[in-house]
């Protein structure tokens, strides 16, 4: 199988590498000349077989809109576009309809794994027609961690369902990170606690709150025990807000996720220890930029 990939940032570049390691031919395009395989989208499409598959890994919103519109004018009937970025599910539905006018098929895929996905594999949540998903299963099989097909991959439903599932995943992620961060601040505030990193380390095995995020928290504390090099300013990339909006729209109570989103807003006003930890965790699992104290 030979596919094209547009967008070779922290996620796309690693995914290209993992696909190649798994025997998939990938021609990638990025505006960054240091990582791109070709000089333009036209060159990328010319390098692909007649039945083209193009995986998009660019930021959500206007940039994804522009890439989809460009492909709609250049691909042909029965070609397939996969959007693996963090696009809002409602945009997927619009993109699918736009491409369908030219007979181009569309699949949305939520991808989780951050900068560690190259080594560990990715969690994948796909939305689209059954036949389209079946055709690109070899891609998902290479990207997910080794094991049976059911592990770390799900065909969630129709177009938009994959990114809807990823949106909820990220909303849950917000809540878990906030809980760990608040626990960190409480431990650090108590004089009788002499080893905060060791306390979290003791929770890594055998406890009911052990997780990969906890492992990354311990790693962050080993690298910077007092988080001196990180300001308590935390960005939000959109999925948390969308999760809260959907909770409201569907009358589903989501107090923990909602509070975690608001906590990120609060972080932009005060340099709180808990928000330093949330910022450190985002950097650990996703390579997201942090604000330094002097910024």
What would the two tokens of residue 23 be?
């025997």
- Tell me, yes or no, whether 275 lies in a domain: no
Active-site residue, selected from the candidate residues 52, 173, 182, 239 = 173
My answer on whether 68 and 95 are in the same domain is yes
Residues 144 and 172 both lie in one domain:
no
Same domain, 1 and 147: yes
Alpha-carbon distance of 275 to 234, in angstroms, equals: 7
pTM of the model: 0.89
- pLDDT of residue 112 exceeding 90: yes
* Within a domain: 289: no
Tell whether 258 and 237 lie within a shared domain. yes
159-218 pLDDT per residue, tens: 999 999 999 999 999 999 999 999 999 999 999 999 999 999 999 999 999 999 999 999
At 249 the pLDDT is: 97
Structure tokens at 203: 């929770």
Check residue 186 and give its pLDDT: 96
Answer yes or no: is pLDDT of 294 > 80. no
91 plus 169 within the same structural domain? no
The answer to whether 123 and 151 have CB atoms below 8 angstroms apart is no
Please tell me the predicted confidence (pLDDT) of residue 174.
Answer: 95
270 domain-assigned: no
Q: Which pLDDT value is given to residue 236?
A: 84
Count how many domains the chain has: 2
Phi and psi at residue 157, in whole multiples of 5°?
A: 165, -145
Given a cut of 80, is residue 142 above it in pLDDT? Answer: yes
- Residue 150 has what pLDDT? 59
End-to-end CA distance of the chain: 46
Reply yes or no on whether 190 is catalytic.
no
Confidence of residue 11 (pLDDT cuts 50, 70, 90): very high
Residues 213 and 99 in one domain: no
Catalytic residue among 43, 151, 166, 205: 166
Range of the domain at 8: 1-157
- Is 179 a member of any domain? yes
| Whether residue 128 sits in one domain with residue 106 | yes
Query: Which residues make Cβ contacts (< 8 Å) with residue 267, sequence separation at least 6?
Result: 232, 233, 234, 275, 278, 279
> Strand 105-112 vs strand 123-127: parallel, antiparallel, or unpaired?
antiparallel
CATH number at residue 229: 1.10.1040.10
């Amino acid at each position: 199988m030979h596919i094209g990939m547009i967008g070779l940032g922290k996620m796309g570049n690693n995914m290209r590498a993992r696909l190649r390691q798994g025997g998939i031919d990938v021609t990638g395009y990025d505006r960054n000349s240091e990582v791109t395989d070709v000089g333009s989208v036209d060159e990328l499409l010319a390098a692909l077989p007649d039945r083209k598959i193009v995986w998009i890994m660019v930021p959500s919103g206007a940039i994804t809109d522009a890439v989809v519109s460009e492909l709609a004018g250049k691909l042909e009937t029965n070609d397939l576009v996969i959007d693996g970025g963090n696009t809002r599910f409602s945009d997927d539905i619009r993109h699918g309809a736009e491409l369908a006018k030219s007979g181009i098929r569309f699949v949305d895929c939520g991808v989780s794994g951050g900068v560690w996905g190259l080594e560990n594999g990715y969690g994948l949540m796909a939305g689209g027609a059954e036949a389209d998903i079946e055709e690109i299963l070899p891609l998902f099989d290479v990207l997910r961690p080794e094991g049976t097909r059911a592990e770390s991959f799900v065909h969630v439903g129709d177009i938009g369902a994959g990114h809807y599932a990823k949106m909820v995943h990220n909303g849950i992620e917000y809540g878990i990170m906030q809980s760990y961060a608040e626990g960190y601040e409480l431990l650090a505030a108590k004089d009788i606690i002499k080893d905060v990193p060791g306390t979290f380390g003791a929770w890594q095995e055998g406890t009911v709150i052990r997780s990969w995020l906890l492992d990354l928290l311990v790693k962050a504390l080993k690298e910077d025990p007092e988080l001196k090099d990180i300001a308590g300013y935390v960005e939000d990339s959109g999925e948390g807000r969308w999760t809260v909006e959907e909770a409201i729209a569907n009358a589903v109570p989501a107090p923990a996720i909602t509070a975690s989103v608001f906590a990120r807003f609060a972080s932009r006003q005060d340099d709180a220890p808990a928000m330093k930890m949330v910022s450190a965790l985002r950097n650990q699992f996703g390579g997201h930029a942090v604000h330094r104290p002097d910024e």
